Amino acid sequence: MLYNIQKYKDGSAVAVWEITETEEALRQICPLPHKDEEELRFITNAQRRKERLVVYLLLEHLFGKKIYLGYYDNGRPFLQNEVGDISISHTSRFACIIYHPTEHVGIDIENTLRNFAAVEKKALSEKERDYLNEKNRHIQLCLIWSAKEALYKYIGESGIDFSAQLEIEKFTLHKKGKLEATYTNKAQETTAYELSYETVEDHVMVWLIA
């Protein structure tokens, strides 16, 4: 079911779907063109098929018509019959998309109940590990990872080192707020970004438009 949709004056939008339906129910409310149906058959994982169907539903809610998706070689999605940029993320419970008619976007959603021990070891810089505190450590790790995932999707380049090239500045936890981040490319040029975040039940969602 549609969980939330936020549309803004600049034409951008963020939409979230809570995946409560069966695959059969989703197929009934989201009939697909033959080409997309054929592509869906190649997805062997049932949960992944549900996620794909939910994305089409979210797009229909945003645009009021059937939207067709394509994917670049790096896996980044694009709209085939609309102008603008889109980013997609999902867990087993939620799927979300962000859209902007002219700017690049990136979004990520994460379950806060996930184990982030590996994230701390492989994806955090020494500076980020230093500002973690025991009281909020788990949710801090979740937000840092989600922010880096959203930024990675926005940048759209392969081979990015999350610990060395993506940096999330120290932040104060709220139910929703802003995160400051930097990306340092291979030429050692650094670009600053501001990301938005909010809690969605037992999840966090982070996105950026730039």
State whether 158 and 86 are in the same domain. no
Q: Residue 7: which domain range?
A: 2-103
Final residue of a domain: which of 53, 80, 103?
Answer: 103
pLDDT at 182 over 80: yes
State whether 96 and 115 are in the same domain. no
pLDDT at 34 over 80: no
State whether 89 and 140 are in the same domain. no
**CATH number for the domain that contains residue 158:** 3.90.470.20
Which regions of the chain does DSSP assign to beta strands (E)?
Answer: 2-7, 13-18, 69-71, 77-79, 85-90, 94-100, 105-111, 166-168, 176-184, 190-200, 203-209
Q: What is the pLDDT of residue 39?
A: 78
Q: What is the pLDDT of residue 100?
A: 97
Residues 6+ apart with CB under 8 A from 14: 4, 5, 6, 96, 97, 98, 107, 205, 207
Q: Tell me: the pLDDT tens digits for 140-168? A: 999 999 999 999 999 998 899 999 999 99
How many structural domains are present in the chain?
2
Q: Name the helix (H) or strand (E) containing 23.
A: helix 23-29
State the Cα–Cα distance between residues 92 and 19, nearest whole angstrom.
Answer: 7
pLDDT at 37 over 80: no
Q: What is the pLDDT of residue 40?
A: 81
Final residue of a domain: which of 103, 137, 160?
Answer: 103
Mean pLDDT to the nearest integer, 123-133 = 96
pLDDT band for 74, please (50, 70, 90 cuts). Answer: confident
This model's pTM is above 0.85: yes
State whether 56 and 131 are in the same domain. no
Q: Tell me: the pLDDT tens digits for 99-113? A: 999 999 999 999 999
Contacts 24+ apart (CB under 8 A), 53-57: 53/23, 53/26, 53/27, 54/17, 54/19, 54/26, 54/90, 54/95, 55/88, 55/90, 55/95, 55/97, 56/30, 56/32, 57/2, 57/17, 57/26, 57/29, 57/30
Query: What value does the mean pLDDT of the chain take?
Result: 93
State whether 152 and 184 are in the same domain. yes
Helix (H, G, I), strand (E, B) or coil at 108: strand
State whether 139 and 99 are in the same domain. no
State whether 13 and 50 are in the same domain. yes
Q: What is the pLDDT of residue 22?
A: 94
